[in-house]
Amino acid sequence: MTSVGTIALLAQNPVFGVAVTLLAYEIGRWAQSRCGGWPLANPVLIAIVLIVAGLKLCGIPYDTYMKGGGLIQFLLCPATVALALPIYANAARIRGAAAGIAAGVAVAATVACASAVGIACALGAPNDLLRSIAPKSVTTPIAIGISQEIGGHPSLTAVLVITGGIIGAMLSGRLYDWIGVRDWEARGLATGIAAHGIGTAQMLSVNETAGAFAGLAIGLTGLFTAVVLPCAAHLL
């Protein structure tokens, strides 16, 4: 049996998907560290490229990979909940900026959704695509649920969410420097709203306060969007 055939046989075991995912991500982290923490060498992006290329090369169907890879997906929810730890550590700062945080999340979440849907609509996107795009600024587990609720395609929504998170994590730091945003609280809040979990992971690796505000933004943006977007979709 060839090595490719052996790998295809091993892929039937759910452990394979978990092991491949973790290995690919660790390679991504190693590559980023070798690049001196360069944001464009994003571990998630590197892991996705490696996994897709590996599955294609070995002829392994995506459904086979997801027998184990789905376990990683399941852990997204508890991983999101774990962001409560840095939030708790920065509770005093958060309380002091509560009004600004609430207003910022409401405005930013609305603009993120409306601008994405507006651009897609102007380009002639069909209704189901618009409903898939609408929750793209919400963390993946919540976005998938919202997409199902409003009649979108959850799998497409997940792709859009992850793509947005990767782009936000790669570009946000340089963008903040360019426009002169120096405050870590503002950086974290904006990143959490626009780039959710992937961007928050990037913020946590740079500054704990920014990571805490990014984690808070993920939860508040998800809550706000989960309440408002289905109502708006129903009315429209």
Domain that residue 231 falls in: 81-235
Q: How many domains does the chain have?
A: 2
pTM: 0.77
What pLDDT does 13 receive?
Answer: 65
86 with 113, same domain: the answer is: yes
65 with 92, same domain: the answer is: no
CA distance 201 to 235: 35
* CB contact at 8 A, 165 and 195: yes
Domain boundary among 33, 54, 74: 74
Q: Which residues of the chain have pLDDT under 50?
A: 1
CA distance 50 to 21: 9
- What is the pLDDT of the chain when averaged over all its residues? 83
Length of the chain, in residues: 236
**Roughly how many angstroms between the first and final C-alpha of the chain, as a whole number?**
57
CA distance 216 to 86: 9
127 with 37, same domain: the answer is: no
Name the helix (H) or strand (E) containing 63.
helix 62-74
181 with 88, same domain: the answer is: yes
From residue 9, alpha-carbon distances to 22, 51, 59, 92, 218 in Å are 19, 17, 11, 53, 39
CA distance 27 to 35: 12
Structure tokens at 228: 């408002």
CA distance 179 to 191: 14
119 with 63, same domain: the answer is: no
92 with 131, same domain: the answer is: yes
* CB contact at 8 A, 99 and 183: no
pLDDT tens, position by position, 170-183: 887 788 888 888 88
Q: Provide the 8-state DSSP code for 41.
A: S
Domain boundary among 51, 74, 97: 74
CB neighbours of residue 59 within 10 Å: 12
41 with 142, same domain: the answer is: no
65 with 115, same domain: the answer is: no
220 with 117, same domain: the answer is: yes
pLDDT tens, position by position, 17-70: 788 888 998 998 898 888 877 767 788 888 888 988 888 888 888 777 777 777
What pLDDT does 35 receive?
Answer: 83
99 with 53, same domain: the answer is: no
CB neighbours of residue 40 within 10 Å: 11
158 with 140, same domain: the answer is: yes
Phi, psi of 11, rounded to the nearest 5 degrees: -65, -20
Domain boundary among 74, 90, 108: 74
130 with 215, same domain: the answer is: yes
What pLDDT does 1 receive?
Answer: 46
